[in-house]
Amino acid sequence: MTFEQFKDECFKLALEKGCENAEVCSMATDGFSVNVLKGELSKYSIESTNGFNLRVIYGGKSGYAYTEVFEDAESLVDHAIDNAKAIENTDENPMQGACEYPEIEKKPNPVVDMSEDEKIELALNLEKDTLAFDDRVNRTAHCSIDTGVSRIHIHNTLGLKADTEETYSSAVIGAILRQGEDEHSSYAFKFGPEITDYQDIIKESVDNALMQFNAKTVDSGEYRILLRNDAAGDLLQAFCSMFFAGSVQKGLSLLAGKLGEQIASPMITIIDDPFEKDNPRKFDAEGVPSVVTNVVENGVLKSYLYNLKTALKDGVASTSNAGRAGAAAPVETAPSNFYIVKGEKSFNELVAQLDHGLIITELSGLHAGLNPVSGDFSLIAKGLLVDNGTILRSVDQITAAGNFLAMMKDIIGVGSDIKFGFPGFGRVGSPSLLIEKLVISGK
């Protein structure tokens, strides 16, 4: 059965069986990815997925069922109705009706149209150029090109027809550098049409690996910290659920009741911008037309991120932040392009301002060592020791600990060097941030 036939049958059955409304979110993806190692293909993958996620509103409650087999619409509808019947939460479950979408400017992506052989060639060249970049590059831990097209349809019985086709392309390189017996690696990535111009990520990967040699720990204590843009973005991403209205309404966010209050240094402005030029979108996972949201302005909390349901509960409009963690997942909240607005100072000016302290270049274990509910974090870190505005040496085997909200108030410098993380369930960016203090554990 085709998508249209299967959808029509599901909608018809759902309405016959007493549902008030029904909606489908379908995502079909065709992709190609290639990894190379030592001049040979190590992984070559052709991908085709097609998921159909049905949501019904039955008795005012919303129930889901997902399948990848376009047959037996009745069983799918029955599963969804059963799940709607199980819901005890009395929140209303609105759906988006028919609407117009803003035109967005998307850069053409010629990489997706390249032949498989050309993409393989691109990956081989990326590895070859990485090995040639510096004598100390011993081999690669990872070298891949990933491209594809996703077609998304969100249709419902209220007349919503949100259709879009999105292309994606990314390059990832991880160089392993060797000096004596020591080896260190670092990954760098790029996505979008510009991946054929990959010299910058080779340099980034090699520079970050080189930085780790001859590292030592430091004495435990409080340090002034320069959190480099990529590490700052990783931390913001890990804590961004704090800003979701759903977390606030469920008592899982410390930002409850803080609208209009100063929650961060006046240097901090945070925006959620679905139109951001490198990753624009017309609508969110509920088909709501994109809008820009000012989340924090000069340190004052202005808005949470809403989907239709959480917005209705607070009596406001959706901020077009419905998201699904994959085709099979229910509607939740996700940022679009969520970022701290850049400041004036270059990275080197921030190092001078740091004067004495640590530059943190990498934070790891973010899925474990932090708690989005309490805001506390204690994370393994790598970095550089700075004295008198000069980098002295590398630092490893330390942890950096603090509380996210306390840290946001302690920011005393914002860089001009904004960097975004890899797009996934939202895309988060930050410039480098100078922080009055974090607690470092070392020796």
- Applying the rule CB under 8 A, the residues between 99 and 118 that interact with other proteins are 116
Residues counted in the chain: 443
Question: Contact, 159 vs 196, CB < 8 A?
Answer: no
Is the CB of 60 or the CB of 159 nearer to other proteins? 60
Amino acid at site 197: D
- 303: exposed, middle or buried (C-beta count within 10 Å: 0-12, 13-18, 19+)? middle
> Binding other proteins by CB under 8 A: which of 3, 51, 99, 158?
51
Residue 189 CB, nearest distance to other proteins (Å)? 16
CA distance 408 to 262: 10
Query: Measured from the CB of residue 107, what is the shortest distance to other proteins in angstroms?
Result: 28
Q: H or E element: which one contains 168?
A: strand 161-179
360, 227 contact by CB (below 8 A) = yes
Site for other proteins in 229-268 (CB under 8 A): 250-252, 254
Q: Which of residues 360-419 bind other proteins (CB under 8 A)?
A: 364-365, 367-371, 373-376, 378-380, 396-403
Pick 295 or 438: Cβ nearer other proteins: 438
C-beta of 125 vs 353, nearer to other proteins:
125
> Considering beta carbons, is residue 184 or 190 the nearer one to other proteins?
184
Q: Are 63 and 87 a contacting pair, CB within 8 Å? A: yes
Q: Which is nearer to other proteins, 79 or 203 (CB)?
A: 79
**CA–CA distance, 443 with 440 (Å, rounded to integer):** 10
Helix (H, G, I), strand (E, B) or coil at 364: strand
- Considering the complex, state which of residue 4 and residue 116 has its C-beta at the smaller distance from other proteins: 116
Return the range that interacts with other proteins (CB under 8 A); candidates 66-74, 122-130, 347-355, 419-427. 66-74
Name the residue nearer to other proteins (CB basis): 125 or 371: 371
d(CA 388, CA 383): 16
* # binding residues, other proteins (CB under 8 A): 76
Q: Which is nearer to other proteins, 42 or 196 (CB)?
A: 42
**Cα torsion through 351, 352, 358, 361, rounded to 10:** 10
User: Can you state the angle between helices 199-210 and 116-133, rounded to 10 degrees?
Assistant: 40
Residues 142-181 as x/- pattern, contact with other proteins by CB under 8 A: ----------------------------------x-----
Query: Nearest approach, Cβ of 88 to other proteins (angstroms)?
Result: 4
In single-letter form, the type of residue at position 356 comes to H
* Torsion-angle region of 221 (φ positive above 0: left; ψ -120 to 50: alpha; else: beta): left
User: What is the contact mask toward other proteins in residues 190 to 229, using x (rule: CB under 8 A)?
Assistant: ---------------------------x--xx--------
Using the rule CB under 8 A, give the single segment among 60-68, 292-300, 311-319, 344-352 that binds other proteins.
60-68
Closest to other proteins by CB, 53 or 293: 53
Q: What angle do CA 264, 266, 270 make, to 5 degrees?
A: 65
- Using CB under 8 A as the binding rule, whether residue 49 contacts other proteins is answered as yes
Q: Which of 12, 79, 106, 136 binds other proteins (CB under 8 A)?
A: 79
Between CA 94 and CA 97 the distance in angstroms is: 9
Interacting positions 4-33 with other proteins (CB under 8 A)? none
